[in-house]
Amino acid sequence: MNFLQKHIGCIVTLIVALAFIAPRLLTLPGFDWLDLTQTGEIGDTIGGTTAPFWGFLSTILLYLTLKEQQNFNKTQQMASDYDILMKLRDNISELSNNLTVAICHPTGSQRTQYQGSFHIEDLKNTFHPQNAIEEDDFNELYRNCTEIAGLILLFFNMLIQSRLGNDIKRTLFYSVSIHSERIYSLFDMTQHEWITIVKNLNSIDDNIFGRYNSTNEKYLNLFSEAYHKLTEMIN
């Protein structure tokens, strides 16, 4: 392919020259064994002797055209993948940075709202025993985090399947990984019951964490699988 592209000018010139020379050359008196002057109209002779050259040239040009079309399609697909991934990244970043984390005292007093997914770590009672979250606030936080998690997993899967180079994939992965780690931490802390949840008066669950077990396992496994595939791919 590279040889053809590099020498296509010379190849075309040679084939065209042969196509014009061939009728004259093959009808010279010396070619008695191939006496084309007695076989019919001169047009048939010229057509018959030049057709193989034009056919060969057409085949080469068709091949090069198809290869260029494939390269163009690949470039277009890469550009499309990049645009979609950038939009997803921006959406994830916006949702993560605007995530509301309402923290209160374990007694349910002094409720304060914070903005940004990095405040999720402030709920970890092994490091911040003075922090807690009301049940309704936790339900909303968990619901919002599952929405962001779905977008992150979509981003990771598209990144794995895209034709982008590993350097670009690595950059995009790291730009979202900070948000994914924060969202992952919520599922992990909920799974290990490292969050102090203040039940509301209408709570019907003795163990609030139990209702989230299957969802926690689902997202923890999906995140781990995506991380494993991506780190193998880009490292």
Cα separation, 104 vs 114, in Å, equals: 11
The backbone region for 110, taken as left when phi is positive above 0, alpha when psi lies in -120 to 50, beta otherwise, is left
Q: Residue 149's closest CA among 55, 62, 212, 74? A: 212
Residue 42 confidence (pLDDT): 47
The backbone region for 193, taken as left when phi is positive above 0, alpha when psi lies in -120 to 50, beta otherwise, is left
Q: What is the pLDDT of residues 212-230, one digit of tens each?
A: 999 999 999 999 999 999 9
pLDDT tier at 113, thresholds 50, 70, 90: very high
Cα separation, 40 vs 60, in Å, equals: 31
DSSP sequence for 198-222: E--TT---S-GGGGGHHHHHHHHHH
Helix ranges restricted to H, 98-165: 135-161
Residue 33 confidence (pLDDT): 47
Q: Where are the domains of the chain?
A: 1-71, 99-234
- Whether pLDDT at 64 is above 90: no
